[in-house]
Every structure is written in C-alpha cells, then in structure tokens.
Structure 1
Amino acid sequence: MRRAFLSVVLLVSAFLIVPASPATAAPYCGIVWGSLEKSAPYLSQAPVVNVRTGRHSCYDRLVIDVAGDVGGYTVGYVPVVVQDGSGFEIPTRGGAALQVTVDDPSYDANYQATYSPANPLELRNVSGYRTFRQVVFAGSFEGYTSVGIGVRARLPFRVFTLDGPGTSSRLVVDVAHRW
C-alpha cells in the first residue's frame, strides 16, 4: 500500500514539474497577417513603371513601382484572376490566386504605355520560389492596373506602400511561406 501511495505521489509530482505545452504554437516567423482582402482607397494618376519579385526567408514579395505616389489598392484572394476592363479570366498556376489592383494606370497622360511586359503571362520567373507559382499582368483600364499572383496555397499576406527612391513609390505585397 505504501508503495502504491508513493507511486501516485511521484506521478502527480511529475505532472506538476513538467511545464504544460502552449495551446497554440507561436506564429511562423512572427507573421500574424491573415488572408482576408486588404484595401486602401485613393486614385492617383502616377503611372506604374515596373513589377518586381523577390524571395525572403519567411515570404515571397511582389513590388509594383510607381512614378509618383502610389494610389490606393485592393489585394485579395479570388477564384480566378480577371483582366481589367474585359473580365477575361486568366488562369494561374498554384492552389490559390491573389488579385492585386493598384489605383494607378500603366500609361501616361497621353495614353502611352509606361509598363508593357514582354510576356503578360510570365511577368517574372518565379521558379524556385517557395510560395509564388506565377505572376501575370491582368491589364490596365480606367486608371487601375492589375497583377495576378498564382500561389502555392491560400496563405497570409500583407500589403503596404513605401516612398522612394526620389519621387517614386512602391506597393509591396508579401505572401508568407506558411501559416
């Protein structure tokens, strides 16, 4: 009986000494962005001049360069990326698609193109990226320019703007590698 009592005491003591594991794990790379649509309204006439991508340790990045102040934007997951003006569907590789619309044209005041990609269905080579699968140009219509991103899955993303260099600015979209 004494042995049984001692065994129970030791077992209970072990539970009191071993720390409990947290109910939820810490977020991946500290990312707490979420995957719901993000937007900021503001129409600008500053033209889009370039689209770039980059790889980082915790996310893949898309940058839209604007010659002036970035207008507003709308970024969100969609069933399929659609072309501005026509509504033509643009399929993208991956398990999910992000539509990025910046409230800036990709043409100047004389309607001359300021951004005209050689291959609208492959704006940048994203092979080897952990999250991006394809980046497509969805056009520019009535002061709005859209880019589609085919991503591995519906993952958290953030959107922000940066000033510079000079009088230029940038719209930045980061998509996490995982939750």
Structure 2
Amino acid sequence: MNHPHFRRIVALASGVLLTAGLSLAAPAAAAATAATTATTQTPLVVNARWGGHPTYDRIVIDLQGYVPTATVTPVPRLVYDGSGKPVPLPGKYFLEIRLHPAAAHDEAGGNVYLGPKLRQISLPKLKGIALTGDFEGYVTFGAAFDTLPYYRAFPLHSPERFVVDIAR
C-alpha cells in the first residue's frame, strides 16, 4: 500500500513506539548507572571478628559496600605492609587475607576500621589476628595458628562480609 494516509499512520505508530521505548529505557539506564556507581565506590573494611564453632573456627571481615576480591594465602611469617616489620603473633603457621579494592579509611583519611589491630585469641585453631595493612586499595589481615590450617573462604551478603572457616 502506498497510500499517504497509511504512511502517516505508520510514521505516527513508529513515533509512539520509539517514545515508549525511550521512556522505558531511561529508568533502566538510570538504574544501571546507579548500580555501577554503587559498585565502583571502594568498599570499606569496618570490623574483623571471630568465633568458635563445634567443627571450625571462623574469621569474619565486615564491609560497607560490596565484597571485593579476596585472597587467602599461606605465608611463612606475617609482616606489616609498608614497613616489613614482623607481626608479634604467636604461631607456627600463618594466613594472609587480602582484600582489593578496599580501604579501612574514608576519603579524608579518617579511620573507619573499628576492629582489633592486633589480638591474641585462644580458640582451638585460631591463635591470633592482626590488621597488617591498609594501603593503596589493599586491606590485609594476618591470622596465626599452632597447627597447619585447613580452611575455606567465601563471601556472605546482607550484610556484606568475607569469611574464612578453619577446620578443627
């Protein structure tokens, strides 16, 4: 059909559909931008805690924001980031827990981390924990053990936290 009235109806319908599509896409784009902004803010490490359970000891690192990439690595000794000074925790075996990107301070440099900086612990496996670094987007903890730690690590959400379970 090549009727002028038909072309006008098709053009009008196309305009209506295009307008509807744009109005539906705008909130979706705004939501995507908000989600991206929320996840691009550096997560803040605000606390570290621990507890004993019947078959494992648990370390929990509490966060504001999202759970960043985290690694748990056996290391021969614990040292403070930057200075390289030894961390005075008793133990023969050590784990380094590193979160990135993360910070234990706000944009003005104020401390937001409320947990212990260095604490000896008397659980069956876990013997101590220390905040060993907060530098250039990395927050690092060290954990000390008398015996070789067998562990599993994973994030938990609502509230955001990173967990390390150490088998007894």
* Equivalent residue, structure 2, for 1:49: 46
- Identify the match of residue 170 of structure 1 among 157, 161, 166: 161
* Equivalent residue, structure 2, for 1:83: 80
Alpha-carbon distance in structure 1 between the residues aligned to 2:155 and 2:136:
22
> Which 4+ runs in 1 deviate beyond 3 A?
none
* Equivalent residue, structure 2, for 1:136: 130
Tell me which structure has the larger Cα radius of gyration.
2
* Equivalent residue, structure 1, for 2:113: 115
Task: Please state whether the residue corresponding to 2:82 is helix, strand or coil.
Answer: coil
Q: How far is the alpha carbon of 1:52 from its aligned partner?
A: 0.6
User: Structure 1 unaligned runs (5+)?
Assistant: 1-42
Alpha-carbon distance in structure 2 between the residues aligned to 1:171 and 1:135:
15
TM-score, length basis structure 2: 0.70
Alpha-carbon distance in structure 2 between the residues aligned to 1:70 and 1:164:
11
* Equivalent residue, structure 2, for 1:68: 65
Give, as a single letter, the amino acid of the residue that structure 1 aligns with 2:163.
V
* Equivalent residue, structure 1, for 2:27: none
Q: Aligned pairs, how many?
A: 129
TM-score, length basis structure 1: 0.66
Give, as a single letter, the amino acid of the residue that structure 2 aligns with 1:90.
V
Q: Cα–Cα, structure 1 residues 44 and 133, in superposed 2: closer, same or farther, change >3 Å?
A: farther
Give, as a single letter, the amino acid of the residue that structure 2 aligns with 1:111.
G
Deviations 1:21-64 (A, max 9, x none): xxxxxxxxxxxxxxxxxxxxxx9611100001011111100000
Greater share of residues in helix: 2
Q: How far is the alpha carbon of 1:83 from its aligned partner?
A: 1.4
Q: Cα–Cα, structure 1 residues 80 and 98, in superposed 2: closer, same or farther, change >3 Å?
A: same
CA RMSD, Structure 1 to Structure 2 (Å): 2.0
Alpha-carbon distance in structure 1 between the residues aligned to 2:128 and 2:41:
27
Q: How far is the alpha carbon of 1:156 from its aligned partner?
A: 1.0
Alpha-carbon distance in structure 1 between the residues aligned to 2:134 and 2:118:
14
The answer to whether residue 152 in structure 2 is matched with residue 154 in structure 1 is no
Q: How far is the alpha carbon of 1:158 from its aligned partner?
A: 0.5
